[in-house]
Structure 1
Amino acid sequence: MGHHPISRRNKSQMFDISIEIDRPAQTVFRHIEDIEAAPAWYSAVQSVAKLTAGPVGRVLETSWRSPSSKSMHC
């Protein structure tokens, strides 16, 4: 799935995420397009808060659990 940089106080971490889902792509994308629901289906996400309105150009604040169990904000 690729590398995803997470910045925190001018430090970057790179990590890979790869999962296999035995469902049709349309079903999967319909479910994950609601990123604010990510904490319910993705254990690494602690919280997601919408900071701006609208589906296009919206800004979200996300809290993550890293593999080392430390929390990250982005």
Structure 2
Amino acid sequence: MKKNMGSADRIIRVLIAAVVAVLYFTNVITGTLGIVLLALAAVFLLTSLVSFCPLYAPFGIKTCSTKK
């Protein structure tokens, strides 16, 4: 797996995941919607940790710099 996510993309995903987690654990979002958003937040966190988004690959999207 080659990296296809840049720093800004990773930071945004981590921030979104943190906001969703806080909203879920403070019972602002609950029920099925809360669980779905929490699962999506977990995916965002995982993809930002490995710097690879599987949805970017088929479309050839790369948000990382191309420096070698």
* TM > 0.5 fold call: no
Q: TM-score, normalised by structure 1?
A: 0.22
Per residue, is there more strand in 1 or in 2?
A: 1
TM-score, normalising length from structure 2? 0.23
**Greater RCO structure (CA 8 Å; 6+ sep):** 2
Could you say which structure has the higher helix fraction? 2
